[in-house]
Structure 1
Amino acid sequence: MNDPLSEAYDADVDTGAEGELEALRAERDDYRDRFMRALADAENSRKRSERDRREAENYGGSKLARDMLPVFDALKRALDAAGEEVRGAAPALIEGVELTQREILNVFSRHGVKAIAPQVGDRFDPQSHEAMFEAPVPGTVAGDIIQVMDDGFMLHDRLLRPAKVGVSSTPKS
């Protein structure tokens, strides 16, 4: 009953079947790994395209907004240059320029553009201000804004243009 040839054959079949089973398991694991990597790549692509879409929506108009800033600056300079004589002689013109400037600010606001309007006496912030000059001014300390030339602008959380300012270089007493 115990045939040595039969037992050797059964051992070979068991070893061969076990080897084939291990090869199939390894192949299965390889396919599972590939599938999981492909799934992760697809998820990363989805997230990347969603982020790109959001950025295009939020920042796609930055070039147009940047191109409109000189228009805002020109209107502001026109209003600053208009003395009392001009304001008295042409109040409708001044009102029209003011309304146009307000409308540009409203359009900017609807599209996420916010003005950075520093005041004289504020501290210089290199993240949002550009120093155009330094000068010693009595009664100030180094780093105080002493003059504002142009307002700056942010587009959502990105700097579109820094505010152009003059900064005090008076050392602390």
Structure 2
Amino acid sequence: MAEPKENPFLDDPEEMEEEFDLDAAMEEDEAPADRPRVNVDAIMAERDEMRDRLMRALAEAENVRKRAARDRMEAEQYGGSKLTRDMLPVYDNLRRALDAAGEGTDQDGVIEGIKLTLKELLNVFNKHGVTLVSPEVGDRFDPQIHQAMFEAPVPDTRAGDIIQVAMEGFMLHDRLLRPAQVGVSSTPAN
């Protein structure tokens, strides 16, 4: 029979016996004096706390992602509202120019040019989600989209009916850019 080979890492066979004794001591659940005892409850509590912190961090990251997506969508839809508000007086002035010029004058070419410019401006507005709020005389006053400039008792009307449109309003998608400025009847019900 072949002789057992000695462990090349152990020079002294007595060290091998000491190592065996150490293994035996560990098997018997006797921790060496220099090894601290592990508190399983403390480790589990720390694990639970870390799991809770991780879940909260993941939830916060998801909320930030959703908020950023919503902000990006709103910026795309409503980002041009300041420019649009600045363009509304251009529309108003073109409309006034048409109202001031009468049909059948010697300025028909100029009037036609103003009409085409106004039409093009409205097309650009529509392309970008801007719609005209143009109430008619006799419509009901809606404080969500109209601004009452004055009240006056007018025969054959009900209180809250629009009796005059001073200036048209505009919406950007579902937001009011400028309310339509109207006069409202204050005639009491009979």
Give the TM-score normalised by the residue count of structure 2: 0.79
**Residue 143 of structure 1: SS of its match in structure 2?**
coil
1:41-84 CA distance string (max 9 Å, x none): 11111111111111111111111000100100111111111113
Cα distance between partner residues in 2 of 1:45 and 1:39: 10
For residue 90 of structure 2, the aligned residue among 71, 88, 108 is 71
For structure 1, the 5+ residue unaligned runs are 1-8
Pair 1:40 & 2:59 matched? yes
Q: Aligned partner of 1:25: which letter?
A: M
Q: Aligned partner of 1:23: which letter?
A: A
> Would you identify which runs of 4 or more consecutive aligned residues in structure 1 move more than 3 Å?
none
Pair 1:129 & 2:146 matched? yes
Cα distance between partner residues in 1 of 2:104 and 2:41: 96
Equivalent residue, structure 2, for 1:154: 171
1:86-133 CA distance string (max 9 Å, x none): 3xx122211110111011111111111111010000000011000011
**Residue 84 of structure 1: SS of its match in structure 2?**
coil
For residue 109 of structure 1, the aligned residue among 123, 126, 134 is 126
Pair 1:167 & 2:188 matched? no
Shift of 1:21: 1.7
Q: Aligned partner of 1:80: which letter?
A: D
Pair 1:52 & 2:45 matched? no
Cα distance between partner residues in 2 of 1:171 and 1:151: 26
Equivalent residue, structure 1, for 2:160: 143
Pair 1:82 & 2:101 matched? yes
Size of the aligned set, in residue pairs, is 159
Shift of 1:85: 3.9
**Residue 39 of structure 2: SS of its match in structure 1?**
helix
Larger Rg: 1 or 2?
Answer: 2
Give the TM-score normalised by the residue count of structure 1: 0.86
Q: Percent identity?
A: 67
Q: Aligned partner of 1:84: which letter?
A: E
Q: Aligned partner of 1:27: which letter?
A: E
Equivalent residue, structure 2, for 1:3: none
Cα distance between partner residues in 1 of 2:116 and 2:58: 54
Q: Aligned partner of 1:62: which letter?
A: S
**Residue 150 of structure 2: SS of its match in structure 1?**
strand
Q: Aligned partner of 2:122: which letter?
A: L
